[in-house]
Amino acid sequence: MEVKAKIFRISGPVVVAEGLNARMYDLVTVGKEKLMGEVIQINRDKTVIQVYEETTGLCPGEPVENTGAPLSIQLGPGLLSQIYDGVQRPLPELQRLKGDFIARGATAPALDEEKKWEFRATVKEGANVSGGDVLGTVQETKFITHKILVPPNKSGKIKKIESGKFNCKEPIGSLDSGEKLFLSHKWPVRTPRPVKEKLLPQIPLITGQRILDTLFPIAKGGTAAIPGPFGSGKTVIQQQLAKWSDAEIVVYIGCGERGNEMTEVLTEFPELKDVKTGAPLMQRTVLIANTSNMPVAAREASVYTGMTIAEYFRDQGYGVSLMADSTSRWGEAMREISSRLEEMPGEEGYPAYLAARLAEFYERAGRAVCLGGEKRIGSVTAIGAVSPPGGDFSEPITQNTLKITKVFWALDAKLAQRRHFPSINWLDSYSLYTKGLSAWYVENIAPDFNEVRATAMKILQQESSLQEIVQLVGSDALPEKEQLTLEIARLIREGFLQQNAYHEVDSYCSIKKQYSILKAIIKYADFAQRALEEGASVSAIASLGSKAKIAKMAFVAEENFASELKKVENEMESEFKNISG
């Protein structure tokens, strides 16, 4: 008689089953309500499962069934504008079926199985295809064409293919092996999707945020960390990057965030207009919502779900911007599950494999030549927020993230308290992509772009070294040359580094506008230095009307910017002639 698998022990989200024939990472259903879970440890006849839902009310002896497949998600038309939980259950659909509170065991298809899509085949019968080849296209939104791909692990000769209207359950064709082809396919979330070749990061991801694009740029296919204490503006920066970055697709993972913050994202994103197309931003966005009160195991899975969706769009040749907010909550989920498994704890109770898991996630980012005969280049840029307790950057998640990522945008609580936003500390932050991207800036923006940036950074560093003296004796005790340095640094901080995320114009600043503003400030600094040498006082230089106007140039709309800047520069030249003459 066959012995059916059953629950042996329950410890929070961790369930031990006995009599289960399973492999690592197999997806299983647990209990009478068929709760979704994943095998994470096998010990002789005992199998340890992490359950993606609340386990309250489960009893030993309830049945456990193995699906025989790893945790996989469905990839195909209909992903864009969707809001999923950590295991790709569509939340709007669950709300429609079950109400505002999701019942345990509730499930719904990840993609609308009834919706018909207009499919246009681009391959012919008899053609040899392999993983990554484009079978045809579906116009998913007005501006995004969804390419239907041969799954990476499939190949053969096209026996039959036809254009027409299909849903995700209807075959669009078949291979000579008899295998049917569909608009969608499944892929295991913990397995990176293969590419033909990874490319060097030589093109910047333009974000429209001045301090990021000019001083600490990130490359397309790059990785960045945004660590900062509570209230320093991590989520606002993540949302700004999602809104304005020049990626074609945005995947936003709210991993363990507070419910009110996630609500803000869910209510704001559908109303946002895409600057490039004028269409709603949601038409090129996928949201993964996993709030802090949702089960911790699903939080652990949510980053893999988001990354797999991002890789799928990369395989179509799109640039994808992936936001993970925040990886600290992901680490906390790993710590909780690890303690339930009675594993040997590492630093601060985190599992010993914390660094390896973080590396696995960030290493899946990159700019690459996609699989398939048609040459397509796509990228996944991964930007992870880190929430160190008390703003302590020496804690394990921040330190391990910094070892992996190449851009460090350090948020500073003191800057946030002074209402300086974005509160990124320009002395602690860095970008290891600056050298590799310098050629792009010279070719596409200005030949002296890198010199202007270096001059601005030098002034800010000089200001920092003078601050200690200023705090002791005051700025009036400094020589006039140093007083002028403080004035110019203040202009850089207030007129360039500060940016209002909620201002209609200042929320986004094009890279050419960024360069022009900074160039004008450096020009003012050069004129001021000469005027000082010719006998002008620092107070006279600082009180010039053109200085105040340069500080406000960020709020001038792009269409009027060039003419307004020219007026300010002409005014600046005449004012300096007057005080020098």
Cα dist from 364 to 369, 382, 558, whole Å: 14, 9, 36
So what's the pLDDT on residue 297? 81
So what's the pLDDT on residue 469? 85
Q: Return d(Cα 293, Cα 289) in angstroms, integer.
A: 11
Q: Return d(Cα 511, Cα 82) in angstroms, integer.
A: 31
CATH 1.10.1140.10 fits 449-580, yes or no: yes
Q: Return d(Cα 296, Cα 330) in angstroms, integer.
A: 8
Is residue 209 a contact partner of residue 241, using CB atoms and an 8 Å limit?
A: yes
Q: Return d(Cα 572, Cα 495) in angstroms, integer.
A: 16
Two tokens, residue 50 = 């992490």
Cα atoms in the Cβ-side hemisphere of radius 13 Å centred on 472: 6
Cα dist from 351 to 14, 54, 334, 396, whole Å: 16, 22, 7, 10
Q: Return d(Cα 29, Cα 36) in angstroms, integer.
A: 5
So what's the pLDDT on residue 470? 85
What are the domain boundaries of the chain? 6-70, 114-187, 223-432, 449-580
CATH class, range 223-432: alpha beta
What is the bridge-based pairing of β-strands 377-386 and 366-369? Answer: antiparallel
What is the bridge-based pairing of β-strands 72-75 and 185-188? Answer: antiparallel
**What is the tens place of the pLDDT at every residue in 83-118?**
998 889 998 888 888 777 777 778 889 999 899 999
Q: Return d(Cα 544, Cα 325) in angstroms, integer.
A: 44
Nearest to 254 by CA among 275, 272, 268: 268
Cα dist from 89 to 93, 95, 291, 439, 535, whole Å: 8, 11, 14, 44, 71
Q: Return d(Cα 405, Cα 431) in angstroms, integer.
A: 9
Is residue 370 a contact partner of residue 132, using CB atoms and an 8 Å limit?
A: yes
Two tokens, residue 556 = 């001038």
pLDDT values of the chain reduced to their tens digit, one per residue, 581 residues? 345 899 999 998 899 999 999 999 999 999 999 999 999 999 988 999 999 888 888 999 999 999 999 999 999 999 999 999 888 999 888 888 877 777 777 888 999 989 999 999 999 999 999 999 999 999 998 889 999 999 998 999 999 999 999 999 999 999 999 999 999 999 999 999 999 999 999 999 999 999 999 999 999 999 999 998 887 888 789 888 888 888 999 999 988 777 777 777 777 777 777 767 777 788 889 999 888 777 788 888 899 999 999 999 999 999 999 999 889 989 998 998 898 888 889 999 999 999 999 999 999 999 999 999 888 999 999 999 998 887 888 999 999 999 999 999 999 989 999 999 999 999 999 999 999 999 999 999 999 999 999 999 999 999 999 988 888 888 888 889 999 999 999 999 999 999 999 898 999 999 999 999 999 999 999 999 999 999 889 999 999 999 999 999 999 999 999 999 999 999 999 999 888 65
What SS3 state is found at 512? helix
pTM of the model: 0.93
What are the DSSP E strand ranges found in 201-284? 223-227, 249-257
* Cross-strand partners of 47: 17, 42
CATH of domain 114-187: 2.40.50.100
Two tokens, residue 528 = 């001021």
So what's the pLDDT on residue 1? 31
First to last CA, the chain: 105
Two tokens, residue 303 = 């980053």
Residues written for the chain: 581
Cα atoms in the Cβ-side hemisphere of radius 13 Å centred on 474: 2
CATH topology of domain 6-70: Elongation Factor Tu (Ef-tu); domain 3 (2.40.30)
Amino acid at 146: H
